Chain A
Amino acid sequence: MSEQNSSQKLLEVKDLHVSFFTPAGEVKAVGGISYDLNYGEVMGVVGESGSGKSVEAYSIIGLLQSPGKVIGGSITFEGQDVLSFSKAEMTAFRGNKVAMIFQNPMTCLNPVYTIGNQLVEALRAHDKNISSKDAEKRAMEMMEMVGINNVEKRMKQYPHEFSGGMRQRVMIAMGLICHPQLLIADEPTTALDVTIQAQILELMKDLQKKTKMGIIFITHNLGVVADICDKVSVMYAGKMVEQGPVDDIFYAPAHPYTEGLLRSMPRVDAESYERLIPIEGTPVDMLNPPEGCPFAPRCEKCMKICLKKMPPYVEVGENHRSACWLRVQERINKEEA
Chain B
Amino acid sequence: MANEEKVLLEIKNLRKYFPVKGIKGPGVQAVQDVSLFIRKGETLGLVGESGCGKTTLGRTILRLYEPTGGTIIYDGKPIYDNPLGPDGKPLGKCQSENMLPYRRKMQIIFQDPSASLDPRMTVGEIIGEAIDIHKLAASKSDRSDMIKELLRKVGLNTEHANRYPHEFSGGQQQRVGIARALAVKPEFIVCDEPISALDVSIQSQVVNMLEDMQQELGLTYLFIAHDLSVVRHISNRIGVMYLGSLVELGESYELNRNPIHPYTQTLLSAVPVPDPKVSRSRQRIVLEGDIPSPMNPPSGCRFHTRCPYATEKCSQQVPVFKEHEPGHWAACHLLDK
Contact = CB atoms under 8 A, between A and B. Distances in A.
Given A195-B49, A220-B199, A276-B208, A262 B172 contact: no
B86 interface: no
B287 A195 contact: yes
A247 B278 CA distance: 11
Interface residues of B, number: 42
B268 A268 contact: yes
Interface stretch (A103-111, A123-131, A176-184, A222-230): A222-230
Given A163-B290, A264-B204, A282-B172, A226 B272 contact: yes
Given A268-B229, A268-B273, A278 B204 contact: yes
B211 A275 contact: yes
A195 B278 contact: no
Contacts of B199: 48-49, 220, 283
Interface string A182-204: 00000000000111111101100
Contact of B274 (A166, A223, A273, A277): A223
Contacts of B103: none
Contacts of A210: none
A1 interface: no
A273 B233 contact: yes
A201 B278 CA distance: 16
A266 interface: yes
B228 A268 contact: yes
B286 A250 contact: no
Contacts of A282: 169, 171-172, 202
B204 A276 contact: yes
A226 B276 contact: yes
Contacts of A226: 272-276, 278-279
B229 A202 contact: no
A282 B205 CA distance: 10
B275 A276 contact: no
Interface string B282-307: 00101100110000000000000000
Interface string B251-279: 00100100000000011111111111111
Contact of A221 (B233, B272, B275, B276): B272
Contact of A227 (B50, B203, B266, B279): B279
Contact of A196 (B171, B232, B290): B290
Contacts of B290: 163, 165-166, 196
Given A194-B226, A226-B273, A226-B276, A199 B204 contact: no
Interface in A149-190: 163, 165-166
A62 interface: no
A316 interface: no
A272 interface: yes
Contact of A279 (B201, B253, B272): B201
Interface in B228-263: 228-230, 232-233, 253, 256
B229 A199 contact: no
A278 B49 contact: no
Given A195-B287, A223-B273, A275-B211, A283 B169 contact: yes
B205 A280 contact: yes
A278 B226 contact: no
Q: Which of B202, B276, B277 neighbours the largest number of chain A CB atoms within 10 Å of its CB?
A: B276
A194 B273 contact: no
Nearest to B52: A193
Given A198-B284, A276-B207, A250 B201 contact: no
Contacts of B279: 223, 226-227
B200 interface: yes
B286 A225 contact: no
Nearest to B290: A163
Contact of A199 (B203, B268, B287): B287
A265 B286 contact: no
Q: Which of A163, A194, A220, A226 neighbours the largest number of chain B CB atoms within 10 Å of its CB?
A: A194
Nearest to B278: A269
Given A195-B49, A226-B272, A266 B233 contact: yes
A194 to B, nearest CB: 5
B275 A193 contact: no
A260 interface: yes
Interface in A276-335: 276-280, 282-283
Contacts of A250: 274-276
A246 interface: yes
Interface string B149-184: 000000000000000000001011000000000000
A224 B272 contact: yes
Contacts of A87: none
A267 interface: yes
Which 6 pairs show the lowest CB-CB distances between chains A and B? A223-B272, A266-B233, A278-B204, A264-B204, A193-B49, A198-B270
28 contacts: A48-B200, A163-B291, A165-B290, A195-B270, A195-B286, A196-B49, A196-B290, A198-B272, A198-B286, A199-B286, A202-B284, A202-B286, A220-B199, A223-B273, A225-B274, A226-B273, A226-B275, A227-B272, A260-B201, A267-B273, A267-B275, A268-B232, A269-B278, A276-B207, A278-B202, A282-B169, A282-B202, A283-B199
Interface of A: 48-49, 163, 165-166, 193-199, 201-202, 220-227, 246-247, 250, 260-262, 264-273, 275-280, 282-283
Given A198-B287, A261-B200, A277-B204, 12 more contacts: A193-B49, A194-B270, A196-B290, A250-B274, A265-B204, A266-B207, A266-B232, A268-B232, A268-B268, A278-B205, A278-B207, A279-B205
